[in-house]
A and B are shown apart, each in its own frame.
Chain A
Amino acid sequence: DIQMTQSPSSLSASVGDRVTITCRASQGIANYLAWYQQTPGTVPKLLIYATSTLQSGVPSRFSGSGSGTDFTLTISSLQPEDVATYYCQRFNSVPFTFGPGTKVDIK
């Protein structure tokens, strides 16, 4: 099975900072990569799919890039409401695995 890893596992940044999270697949997955946000105590929310397509309603400070095995999620200017755990997920084939998550909080 293709394994998904994320780095860092957690980070702390100031409001307004640029934040980058990395996701790596153990084999190439083309652009079949999605990012979800789960704020504390809530349900996961789809942010980005197909590597870089923003889901409707998601603020433009979120962006995604990459292809093949290496992907990034960038928050251009961190806001207090962005405190959450972020998960990457591949959706090219079964099993549709997630990365372990990156916890983001405010310094």
Chain B
Amino acid sequence: EVQLVESGGGLVQPGRSLRLSCAASGFTFGDYPMSWFRQAPGKGLEWVAVIRSKVYEGATEYAASVKGRFTISRDDSESIAYLQMNSLKTEDTAVYYCTRDFPQFVSLAEVWGRGTLVTVSS
């Protein structure tokens, strides 16, 4: 069974850092691009970042709202994707979802994790 499990969310003060993890199973992790999306409480969906597969040299892209603060990475040997979040702001409060994307279309999310809640508050 294809599965994505996020972890690492929690309550953090503005300006601090947090690292989210996404453990994948049930498929050849290295063959797929992986994205992070988020959804603020009661709001819509927002794409955050994507990391392509090794074939595309693991190239990354970011939403303007997080560029320079967040870093997406992957460990294909462990089948884990990460989202390092620095200089967190209150507006980063959201449920963060990890997704497996179509190989040929990054951000087209065909498998979603259950999400992990990040709350940025003093």
Whole-angstrom distance from the CB of A2 to the nearest CB of chain B?
Answer: 13
Any A CB within 8 A of the CB of B45: yes
Q: Is the interface of B mostly helix, strand, loop or mixed?
A: strand
Q: Is the interface of A mostly helix, strand, loop or mixed?
A: loop
| Given known A-B contacts A43-B97, A91-B105, A98 and B112 have beta carbons under 8 A apart | no
A49 contact set on B, CB distance < 8 A: 102, 105, 108
Q: What is the number of contacts between chain A and chain B, taking CB atoms within 8 Å?
A: 52
Whole-angstrom distance from the CB of B35 to the nearest CB of chain A?
Answer: 8
Whole-angstrom distance from the CB of A50 to the nearest CB of chain B?
Answer: 8
Which residues 53-107 of A sit at the B interface, judged by CB distance below 8 A?
Answer: 55, 87, 89, 91, 94-101
Cα(A98)–Cα(B44), bound, Å: 8
Any A CB within 8 A of the CB of B106: yes
* 1/0 contact string of B32-49 vs chain A (CB within 8 Å): 000001000000111100
Q: Which residues of B contact A (CB under 8 A)?
A: 37, 44-47, 50, 61, 63-64, 97, 102, 105-110, 112-115
